[in-house]
């Protein structure tokens, strides 16, 4: 039996075959030790594993948002969910020690079933002297989330020199009942 490695145009092994007779076919190399994915060196007539040029994963400082708070005339925290009346302005504040003065686009995702994003709203937050602040309101009633995962995806996309860490913020924007006092 004769063992052959089948090579593609880049000399990468794409198949391993056994034949009863010796072959003289282009892209088939006699070998007992080749493995799928190996690279064949024509000069040394040897197989080796491919060299993978992995770019180093960049390391960014992670800024932890602390003491996150929401203020507005009628907003209140119920468990871990901020109840905020629809259309009422609120201010989100947090300590962002270590973050230079800047502006950050905050993506607030509207979700259904408390998990599935269906839409988002964008607010601009300002960071000054280690304090983050953002003013916003919800034009629609519904369930909303701000997550570090979503914000960091945006920060990565614009190649920002930092990432954020914080507990997810959940909001229920509700239609205020005008008849209840």
CATH number at residue 72: 2.60.40
In a domain, 181, yes or no: no
pLDDT at 178 over 90: no
Among 50-59, 87-96, 171-180, the least confident range: 50-59
In a domain, 92, yes or no: yes
Percent of the chain at pLDDT > 90 equals 75
53 versus 95: the higher-pLDDT residue is 95
In a domain, 170, yes or no: yes
Average the pLDDT over 89-115 and give the result: 94
Average the pLDDT over 19-37 and give the result: 89
Q: Are residues 33 and 75 in the same domain?
A: no
Give the pair of three-digit tokens for residue 93.
């504040």
Segment 35-76, tens digit of pLDDT: 999 999 999 999 998 887 777 767 889 999 999 999 999 999
pTM score, whole prediction: 0.66
Q: Are residues 119 and 155 in the same domain?
A: yes
Nearest Cα to 37, choosing from 5, 60, 62, 61?
Answer: 5
Q: Are residues 68 and 43 in the same domain?
A: no
Count of structural domains, the chain: 2
In a domain, 56, yes or no: no
Beta-strand runs (E) in the chain: 2-7, 13-19, 28-30, 39-41, 46-48, 62-64, 66-71, 76-78, 81-85, 90-95, 102-112, 116-128, 131-136, 142-146, 163-165, 169-174
Domain containing residue 29: 2-48
């Amino acid at each position: 039996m004769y063992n052959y490695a089948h090579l593609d145009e880049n000399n990468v092994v794409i198949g391993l075959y056994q034949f009863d007779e010796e072959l003289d076919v282009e892209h088939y190399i006699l070998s007992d030790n080749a493995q799928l994915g190996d690279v064949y060196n024509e000069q040394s007539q040897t197989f080796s594993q491919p060299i993978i040029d992995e770019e180093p994963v960049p390391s960014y400082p992670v800024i932890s948002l602390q003491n996150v708070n929401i203020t507005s005339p009628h907003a209140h925290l119920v468990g871990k969910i901020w109840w905020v009346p629809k259309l009422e302005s609120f201010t989100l504040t947090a300590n962002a020690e270590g973050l230079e003065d800047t502006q950050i686009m905050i993506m607030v995702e509207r979700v259904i079933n408390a998990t599935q994003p269906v839409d988002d709203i964008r607010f601009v937050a300002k960071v000054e002297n280690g304090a983050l602040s953002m003013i916003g309101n919800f034009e629609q009633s519904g369930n909303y989330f701000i997550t570090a995962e979503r914000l960091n995806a945006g920060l990565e996309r614009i190649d920002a020199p930092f990432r954020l860490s914080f507990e997810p913020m959940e909001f229920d924007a509700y239609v205020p009942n005008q008849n209840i006092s």
